Amino acid sequence: MRDGFVKIACASPELKVADCDGNTDKIIALVRKAAEKGVKIICFPELSITGYTCGDLFLQHSLLKSAKENLCRLAEEVQHSDIIVIVGLPVEHQQKIYNCAAVMFQGKISGLVPKINIPNYGEFYEARHFTSGADVNVYHELTEKQTPLFTAKQVFQVTEELTFGIEICEDLWVADSPSVKSAKAGANVIFNLSASDEIIGKADYRRTIIQAKSGSLLCAYAYADASVGESTQDMTFAGHNLIVENGSILAESKLFTNELLIADIDTGRLNSERWRMNTFTSDTNNTNNIKHDFQHTEMNMPLTETHLERYISLLPFVPSDNIILDNRCEEILAIQTVGLATRLRHIGCQKAVVGLSGGLDSTLALIVMTHAFDRLGLDRSGMIAVTMPCFGTTDRTYTNACRLAEAYHVTLKEIPIQESVRQHFKDIEQEETNHDVVYENGQARERTQVLMDIANQCGGIVIGTGDLSELALGWATYNGDHMSMYAVNVSVPKTLVRYLVAYEAGHTKPELKQVLEDILNTPVSPELLPPDESGNIAQKTEDLVGPYELHDFFLYYMLRFGFSPKKIFRMAEYAFQGKYKKEIILHWEKKFYQRFFSQQFKRSCLPDGPKVGSVTLSPRGDFRMPSDACVNLWLRELEELLI
């Protein structure tokens, strides 16, 4: 449960209707099985001690008495298991019967939550037996030792980061579901004890409504459905269990199977989403009233380590599903294209200039330019691609730049800059043999000057090629490749640039595809240092600043969720296990924070560019940070890690 991770479960035991003793035995066995797997909270279906389809047997004293006795037996049997158990049963109170969820931990029954919305349509005749618990707010004596709070207006605080609420089956399907108030009262996890019969198409609808509820409440939603053990006299049940986090399905059971469904939820991620979305509790008076009305029952569960089993992608910016990835690439290219086309149309411009290096970033910029020009019906000859060979240019990148411009039918200009850079070095008394930062940046700034002047000559604008990852690391020459008149890649991370170029390669002509594929296989480099003896690229970016897949991982979780360096390290260690040793991950994470904080001044004066995702660094609204912010707090946390 450290770092906000907690393992939860939904269970659908194959019960027998009205067999409270046997059903409780099966519940106990599943609780123990879940506890062995590290589960901290387990939820069972609606009326799981008795079975949901008891009908008029709910009016029998013997059944109600047996349900209560078995609830207390369950609490005793699992009191030494470090797990919170949520189970359903009928409860008689003041000559009325309520459909309830009971919450227990370490032998204590901490709360009873009654169902509020009692259906009485179709096959569901609950109003014949049960009363709505909307107005109940008492302490209900089960035994001398067990007198839990009995109200729907309660949430259960497990740790500082985890509070859960409960609703029962029909409560989810109504317009004003109880989970809305539970969430406003502080619950970031909702458990639903359900008995939803299975008919054609209902599983899809159930899945959709749970995802929507989880997304709108910024919560995790665990749905425990009645199993195939229920009576099939008029209905069939499928045990369709779901665990959803902020609209995304973490785990889902197969229909018509009785299984233990387990997933790791990240409460830190949910809390971060709520901090970020200030409209979540924008109705302050209403939210405060709800918090005042709700009881917060403390469970006092100690923090323990959670063995992570949830999927954590190495490439959080890149969808793992190929179909989704293709759709994402198409959407991003459309956003970039529309952004540039809108800018060109707004300023009445029919010319655009780009520095074409033969690398991935400038290739993506050229791709976007061609789409924008085509969208506007402009002649591609108005696109001026400039290749500027200098000391580090290799034959491979030079050739690819030329072939790319030719394949896209754009205007290509070749302007070697060696002599102008040498003149500049002479002017400032810089030795050409001194391959320091002046040597590198002098070339980058000369290239930008050439591009700006050509844009002035033709009445066009310079299109920036730098990507999000380079901006995060400050891997750009200030007033060199850092500057342009419109930066189309400004919010595209390096790990995603590759897939966008690959997407274009897969949807184009064979001759262009061949060039794009060779560019994809070329090492990432600014080519500001001379090639090696074989004429190959000697200056490889990832050898200097570290693997981009690691930096993009750090960037995503730092900015998207505000996670601490310690938590990000733990997630990276899990995601990259077998690929990078933890010492390597820690080394580059420290470098990431050092560079991110020290290079903010470059991001404070970025040119305009289209936002394509939830993580971006535009200083005009998406990320505001003083250029003089101190990194010590973040580095100190990493220094304290024992590896």
Full residue range of the structural domain in which residue 144 is found:
2-298
Rounded Cα–Cα distance for residues 573 and 3 (Å): 14
Q: Among residues 264, 298, 332, which one ends one of the domains? A: 298
- Verify that 454 and 568 share a domain, yes or no: yes
Which residue positions in the chain have pLDDT lower than 50?
none
Structure tokens at 537: 């690229």
The residue from 7, 43, 46, 504 that is catalytic is 46
Residue 375 in any domain: the answer is yes
Percent of the chain as helix, strand, coil, to the nearest 5: 45, 15, 40
Number of domains present in the structure of the chain: 2
Q: Is 640 in the active site? A: no
Q: Are 118 and 132 in contact (CB under 8 A)?
A: yes
Per residue in 313-332, pLDDT tens? 999 999 999 999 999 999 99
- Verify that 471 and 407 share a domain, yes or no: yes
Per-residue DSSP letter, 231: -
Residue type, 204: D
Instruction: Tally helices (H) and strands (E) across the chain.
Output: 21, 22
The residue from 20, 43, 169, 349 that is catalytic is 169
Q: Is 245 in the active site? A: no
- The pLDDT assigned to 396 comes to 92
E strand or H helix that includes residue 389 = none
- The pLDDT assigned to 123 comes to 67
Residue 312 in any domain: the answer is no
Rounded Cα–Cα distance for residues 192 and 45 (Å): 8
Structure tokens at 246: 């902020």
Rounded Cα–Cα distance for residues 255 and 262 (Å): 16
Rounded Cα–Cα distance for residues 113 and 106 (Å): 18
Residue 34 in any domain: the answer is yes
- Verify that 93 and 209 share a domain, yes or no: yes
Under DSSP, is residue 260 helix (H, G, I), strand (E, B) or coil? strand
Distances (CA, A) of 533 to 253, 417, 591, 628: 59, 22, 30, 42
Closest CA to 39 of 28, 49, 47, 30: 30
The residue from 115, 153, 213, 602 that is catalytic is 115
Per residue in 477-525, pLDDT tens? 999 999 999 999 999 999 999 999 999 999 999 989 999 999 999 887 7
Angle between helices 582-598 and 565-575 (to 10 degrees): 140
Per-residue DSSP letter, 56: G
Q: What is the CATH number of the domain that holds 537?
A: 3.40.50.620
Structure tokens at 375: 């969208």
- The pLDDT assigned to 280 comes to 76
Q: What is the CATH number of the domain that holds 40?
A: 3.60.110.10
pTM of the model: 0.90
- Verify that 401 and 525 share a domain, yes or no: yes
- Verify that 134 and 18 share a domain, yes or no: yes
Side-chain half-sphere of 341: how many Cα atoms within 13 Å? 17
Under DSSP, is residue 568 helix (H, G, I), strand (E, B) or coil? helix
CA triple 264-267-269, angle to 5 deg? 100
Residue 594 in any domain: the answer is yes
- Verify that 626 and 509 share a domain, yes or no: yes
- Verify that 547 and 604 share a domain, yes or no: yes
Distances (CA, A) of 376 to 367, 533, 608: 15, 46, 20
- The pLDDT assigned to 393 comes to 85
- Verify that 284 and 344 share a domain, yes or no: no
Residue 308 in any domain: the answer is no
- Verify that 144 and 21 share a domain, yes or no: yes
Q: Are 417 and 535 in contact (CB under 8 A)?
A: no
DSSP for 449-460, please give it.
HHHHHHHHHHT-
DSSP for 107-158, please give it.
TEEEEEEE-----EETTEEGGGT----TT-EEE--SSSS---EEESSEEEE-
- Verify that 507 and 629 share a domain, yes or no: yes
- Verify that 294 and 326 share a domain, yes or no: no
Per-residue DSSP letter, 159: S
Residue 225 in any domain: the answer is yes
Residue 313 in any domain: the answer is no
- Verify that 273 and 374 share a domain, yes or no: no
Burial 268-297 (b: 16+ CB within 10 A, else e): bbbbbbbeeeeebbeeeeebeebeeebeeb
E strand or H helix that includes residue 55 = none
Residue 314 in any domain: the answer is no
Closest CA to 500 of 634, 280, 317, 246: 317
Q: Is 349 in the active site? A: no
In 431-573, beta strands by DSSP E: 461-464, 486-487
Strand order across the 295-298 sheet? 248-252, 242-245, 220-224, 189-193, 163-168, 154-157, 295-298
How many CB atoms are located within 10 Å of the residue 347 CB?
Answer: 11
- The pLDDT assigned to 528 comes to 61
Q: Among residues 282, 298, 314, which one ends one of the domains? A: 298
